[in-house]
């Protein structure tokens, strides 16, 4: 059997990496995954700044190229072009979107604001403190309180952009869901997951039913894993 045409560089623990593997699974594109953490030798071998993920495209039009594509939104556009169906795009009129580009707006907001607030602000400090085992839960809560306040506001603002039910843009699954999900799956795994509203919890239940979600759960914080 021919080897997969794609390799994804990045640990399943990386939320941006999971957004891409969710889509590869959903669209039925086989891939290999090289598990590495950011700023490791492998990450730098594949990304100029040692970030995750990189998608290695082994062949284009039958020719070996081993092209390294970085930046998850660029990778998403590539995946959409080579595998347009099942579509992860939305049309005007779906959810609160008046124009199609609002889906990419949501994705960009998640990447630019959600990641730092959820992961860097709350999830990673909480996990580091838990793993270190020196502070009590009360002490940890006090230490991360400012970041948790920020997180509460972010979740509220993201929810305001979402449809009232179903996926982020209502009945149609989109890239918006695949970019938001890894962050909130991590959040749900820690005590600060209590901040998730009934709407967000319903959305997560919908997401958890997807085969792509189940296929990409192994190795993530949501099941207690640690990198790589
Ligand atoms: N803009 C990048 C962001 C990727 C990103 O931040 N990845 C995280 C891992 S989930 C990372 O490599 N972080 C390293 C760092 O912050 O130094 C993308 O969309 O791919």
Residue ranges of domains in the chain, CATH in brackets: 6-82 (3.40.30.10), 102-217 (1.20.1050.10)
pLDDT for residue 1: 67
Give me the mean pLDDT over the 160-187 stretch. Answer: 97
Q: Whose CA is nearest to atom 11 of ligand 1?
A: 51
- Residue-wise pLDDT for 29-69, tens only, equals 999 999 999 999 999 999 999 999 999 999 999 999 999 99
Q: Mean pLDDT of all residues in the chain?
A: 97
Can you say how many angstroms the Cα of residue 170 is from the centroid of all Cα atoms in its chain? 19
Q: How far apart are CA 23 and CA 126, in angstroms?
A: 28
> Token pair for residue 224?
């207690």
Nearest-CA residue for atom 7 of ligand 1: 52
Ligand 1 pocket member 221 (CB < 6 A): no
Q: Whose CA is nearest to atom 16 of ligand 1?
A: 51
């Amino acid at each position: 059997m021919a080897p997969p045409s794609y390799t994804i560089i990045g640990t399943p623990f990386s939320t941006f990496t999971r957004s891409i593997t969710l889509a590869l699974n959903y669209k039925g594109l086989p891939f290999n995954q090289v598990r590495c953490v950011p700023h490791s030798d492998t990450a730098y071998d594949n990304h100029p700044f040692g970030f995750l993920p990189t998608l290695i495209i082994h062949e284009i039009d039958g020719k070996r190229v081993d092209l390294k594509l970085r930046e998850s939104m660029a990778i998403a556009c590539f995946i959409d072009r080579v595998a347009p169906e099942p579509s992860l795009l939305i049309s005007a009129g779906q959810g609160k979107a008046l124009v199609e580009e609002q889906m990419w707006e949501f994705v960009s907001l998640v990447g630019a604001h959600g990641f730092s607030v959820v992961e860097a602000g709350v999830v990673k400090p909480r996990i580091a403190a838990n793993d270190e085992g020196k502070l009590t839960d009360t002490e940890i809560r006090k230490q991360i309180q400012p970041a948790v306040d920020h997180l509460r506001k972010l979740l509220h603002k993201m929810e305001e952009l979402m449809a009232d039910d179903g996926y982020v843009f209502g009945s149609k699954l989109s890239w918006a869901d695949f970019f938001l999900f890894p962050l909130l799956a991590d959040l749900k795994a820690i005590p600060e997951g209590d901040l998730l509203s009934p709407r967000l919890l319903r959305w997560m239940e919908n997401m958890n039913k997807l085969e792509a979600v189940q296929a990409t759960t192994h190795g993530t914080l949501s099941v207690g894993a640690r990198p790589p």
